[in-house]
Amino acid sequence: MPTCFVVQGFGKKTDFTDGRVLDLDASYAIIKEGVEAAGLECLRADEIPHSGTIDVPMYKQLLHADLVIADLSTYNVNAAFELGIRYGLRPRATIIVAEEDFKNPFDVGHIVIQRYKHLGEDIGAKEAKRFRDDLKQAITDILATAETDSPVYTFLPDLTPPCVPPGGGQTAMPAASPRALAPAPDPRAQGGAAIRFDETMAGTAIFKVGQYATTGSADTPPQISAKANLDQAQAKLLSGDFIGASQLLRDLHQQRPNDSFVVQQLALSTYKSGQPTPEAALTAARNILLTLNPETTNDPETLGLWGAIHKRLWEITRQDVDLSESIEAYGRGFQLKQDYYNGINLAFLLELRALLALKAGDRNEGLTDSVLAGRVRRDVIRYTEPLITKDYDYGDDKRYWILATLWEAEVGLGNSAAAANWEAQARALNRADWMIETTQVQIKALKTMQEEIAQRLGQNPGNPVP
């Protein structure tokens, strides 16, 4: 069976041109379906079991694969590098894909890019079907012709592609094949079904449990692919086994020390573990994230985690520096991404800092933060309302958190009628009880803070600071 090698990052990656975070595993799932529907075996680099560097099997795939699909979404420089290598090695059978907001930075306007719409955490059902069908057709067409698609061989037509003779040393070894991957059963996923995990009140992440690829024999220990390690770690995160997830992610971090998604997941599992103490776990997670330079980063995912860690540190230590660090992180994340998660957390913490300032006798600081909180909530509503009106197939869990955010934002602004409208829509989704309870607890805490702020400012408690 012919093979297809997909050049793409894995996990969540940030598009630094606009701050959006895309789950590339969701993209790969659709790409793989399209490839297999066209009759090819599909493989991505993180699915290759290997010891040592991934470079050797990666270069073999770029040379030997019957088809290469390169996903340039999030402006992945590694994907662009590997695409260039493929163009230099093979004159044909290379396809470029990218999500719809990708702007081609290269002077290759004549090269066709297959586009798809990405919602961040996933791809809507209708869009997934369209892209899968279009990709299948593109694969069928490109394999049915001998037309050159590499710009190298297009503009240098006399160039001869490299030829590896049989028995020609290490470079003559056959390419790794997906058929060499032996799937081990996953007791949670039962065949690799997708599983959702809601991390916070307003944030939703999708974790997919796939096949656990290993190779080995009775005489050699099995080699586990990076994807298998990540799948197992995320399954443990989902089940609440944060210590087990941390152990797997530490191993994966050694395999991929420069992968920001792995570092973020390791920090998340570490602080969630609460071991040996909650404060020690948060401090350890903070130190892990330091490698991503949170003081200067423009990655909203790193900033969201940095904000969450310092928020929880403040809840333990009551140190002003932790609260300020959390507010700064959520603020920068919200400015970059203009998202409801960073925004609603920022507004809540500004209100909290306002109350603390008033308790300390600093009326000006308290009033300033309270006014800023209101402005942030209005921005949250402005950015979030279109997400409800657009015809996006989010799934009911994410839709709930969007509605819950609007509900809380309107409560914070004192707009009772609008808040009641969003509350009714959120409840109509009939999500898990804990989701509603989480929102109610948050809103109750917000109302309590605003009432005390109003009393200290000598205002009507029913009218929050505008």
Average pLDDT rounded to a whole number, residues 113-127: 81
User: What is the Cα–Cα distance from 286 to 292, expressed in whole angstroms?
Assistant: 10
State residue 187's pLDDT score.
Answer: 30
Residue 126 CB neighbours (<10 A): 12
Is the pLDDT at 3 greater than 50? The verdict is yes
> At residue 240, what are phi and psi to the nearest 5 degrees?
90, 5
Neighbours of 199 (CB within 10 A): 16
pLDDT of 248 reads: 92
Cα-to-chain-centroid distance, residue 398: 14
Contact in structure between 17 and 63 (CB atoms under 8 Å):
no
Q: Are 88 and 358 in contact (CB under 8 A)?
A: no
Mean pLDDT, residues 151-174 taken together: 70
Q: Give the pLDDT mean for 358-367.
A: 95
Are 4 and 69 spatial neighbours (Cβ–Cβ below 8 Å)? yes
CA 327 to chain centre: 22
Q: Which of 25-29, 52-56, 199-203, 221-225 has the least mean pLDDT?
A: 199-203
Number of CB atoms found within 10 A of residue 340's CB: 24
Instruction: Answer for the pair 161, 121: CB distance below 8 angstroms, yes or no.
Output: no
Amino acid identity of 24? Answer: L
Please tell me whether the peptide bond between 166 and the residue prior to it is cis, using omega within 30 degrees of 0: no
Among 374, 439, 373, residue whose Cα is nearest residue 404: 439
So what's the pLDDT on residue 215? 43
List the single range of 11-15, 96-100, 381-385, 423-427 with lowest mean pLDDT: 11-15
Residue 44 DSSP SS3: strand
Exposed / middle / buried, residue 49 (Cβ in 10 Å: 0-12, 13-18, 19+): buried
What confidence score (pLDDT) does residue 208 get? 31
Most confident of 7-21, 32-46, 172-186: 32-46
The residue behind tokens 């050049």 is 7
Mean pLDDT score, 308-328: 96
| DSSP for 51-105, written as a single string | SS-SHHHHHHHHHH-SEEEEE-GGG-HHHHHHHHHHHHH-SS-EEEEEETT----
pLDDT at 464: 62
Which pLDDT score is estimated for 281?
96
Show the tokens assigned to 297: 């980063």
Give which of 418, 386, 379, 378 is closest to 402, Cα–Cα: 386
pLDDT > 80? residue 23: yes
Among 28-37, 107-116, 155-164, 300-309, the least confident range: 107-116
pLDDT in tens, 8-22: 988 888 887 777 788
Chain centroid to CA 63: how far? Answer: 30
Encode pLDDT of 229-246 as tens digits. Answer: 888 998 898 888 999 999
Average pLDDT over residues 160-181: 50
Pair 408, 439: CB distance under 8 Å: yes
pLDDT band at 199 (very low <50, low <70, confident <90, very high): very low
pLDDT band at 189 (very low <50, low <70, confident <90, very high): very low
Q: Which of 428, 345, 5 is nearest to 175 (CA)?
A: 5
Amino acid 48: pLDDT: 80
User: Residue 460: pLDDT band by 50, 70, 90 thresholds?
Assistant: low
Residue 165: both structure tokens together: 């003779």
What strands, in cross-sheet order, belong to the sheet with 94-99? 41-44, 3-7, 67-71, 94-99, 113-116
DSSP-derived secondary structure for 48-61: S--SS-SHHHHHHH
CA distance 44 to 46: 6
